[in-house]
Amino acid sequence: MNQHEQESIVNADQLQQVCSQLYQKAGVAREYADTIAQMQVLMDLRGVPSHATRGVPGYVRGMISGNTNPNPDMKTLADSPASALLDGDQGLGHLVAIHGMNLAIEKAKATSIGVVVVRNSNHFGAASSHAMRALEHDMIGFATTNGGGVNVAVFGARTNSIGNNALAFAIPAGDEPPIVLDMACGAAAAGRIGTARMYDQKIPLGWGLDADGEETDDPSKVAAILPAAGPKGSALAIIMDVLCGPLGGGLMGINKAYNPRNAPPEKISTAHFFFAINVASLSSVDEFKEEMDEQIRTTRKAEPRKGFDRVTLPGEIEWELTQERRENGIPLHKSQVQSLEELADELGVPVPWK
């Protein structure tokens, strides 16, 4: 069965409506449920299904079971004009991250840069969905996390020894699409390997190791993810871990997993790091955007090498895919659609595409 035969086409607005109502049924306030659903549907539009609405049933069931807090009472543990440390009260990671990134933006409005660390949280989805919140404020946004557990082998190792600590930059442009970098520090995100498994597809060699420490192209046999670009991805993962862990009073990922030293839950739970840079504090916003546009256009003129149709910038393909899918619908794996429909039936949420 080819990929298209495994998929159903779903309207973005209808998908967002259903996901928001599912979150509301789990106890998330409507304002935040709408925002979280919008962020996750945006990832489906951008062609990142591993960090999009595919995860909704798991997040919702986690809140219903009591493992995740749908209405966290977030506390400020440290505060200064340009930075803050927050406790996420074991809240849904997307919701906690919305608060964290919004606070970084507010601080950047006043002090040029805002830095926020949030600990005691949960998986926050795609890092870019948070970094991009800065764009509408003419700011550069950044987000990273040490959620997801220890599932990457440090360069040279054959067993898991660091988290696949995703990071994202979002940089505003003028007439051109913004530059958006969203990457795992491993060769691939665990969710992307899971997506390949769902579609019964092979993965490239170099993505993961099996239980014997050998490279595998079978996503069901991946026991450890390899770092991206060898020592470079490995080093980046460690640095992201520092920003999320010790900087906020928590532990490094490897110590959470193997050497917690009787640490309290807030020190070993998922943590996030955000910053926003206010372009207007350092230069003319118009001139900045004009230069970004010029850089983007000049880069596109580069001659593509053999095997490439054109040269693109980070986030450009996702931007184009978003426009196409808003018009023609989002292809979702039929098992994902079924999971959403089953959960909607359980919770009494109408599904308009049925």
Region of 12 on the Ramachandran plot (φ > 0 left; ψ -120 to 50 alpha; else beta) = alpha
Confidence of residue 147 (pLDDT cuts 50, 70, 90): confident
Average pLDDT over residues 137-154: 94
286 C-beta neighbours (distance < 10 Å), count? 12
Instruction: Report pLDDT digits (tens) over 162-177.
Output: 999 999 999 999 999 9
Mean model confidence pLDDT for the chain: 96
Instruction: Report pLDDT digits (tens) over 261-296.
Output: 999 999 999 999 999 999 999 999 999 999 999 999
CA distances from residue 339 to 63, 280, 299 in whole angstroms, order as listed: 16, 45, 42
Instruction: Report pLDDT digits (tens) over 235-250.
Output: 999 999 999 999 999 9
Average pLDDT over residues 129-134: 98
Of the chain, the percentage scoring pLDDT greater than 90 comes to: 95
- What's the CATH architecture for 1-73+316-354? Orthogonal Bundle (1.10)
Whether the per-residue pLDDT at 4 is higher than 80: the answer is no
Confidence of residue 214 (pLDDT cuts 50, 70, 90): very high
| In contact, 211 and 223? CB cutoff 8 Å | yes
Ordered by start, the domain boundaries in the chain are 1-73+316-354, 80-186+227-288
> Which DSSP symbol is given to 148?
S
Q: HSE (CB half, 13 Å, CA atoms) of 338?
A: 5
Instruction: Report pLDDT digits (tens) over 16-60.
Output: 999 999 999 999 999 999 999 999 999 999 999 999 999 999 999
The pLDDT of residue 2: 66
80-186+227-288 matches 1-73+316-354 in CATH topology: no
Whether the per-residue pLDDT at 316 is higher than 90: the answer is yes
Whether the per-residue pLDDT at 233 is higher than 70: the answer is yes
Confidence of residue 1 (pLDDT cuts 50, 70, 90): low
The pLDDT of residue 151: 95
Distance CA 36, CA 17 (A): 11
> Which DSSP symbol is given to 151?
E
Q: Could you confirm whether domain 80-186+227-288 is CATH 1.10.1420.10?
A: no
pTM of the model: 0.95
CA distances from residue 127 to 70, 94, 333 in whole angstroms, order as listed: 20, 10, 23
Which tokens go with 296?
């983007």
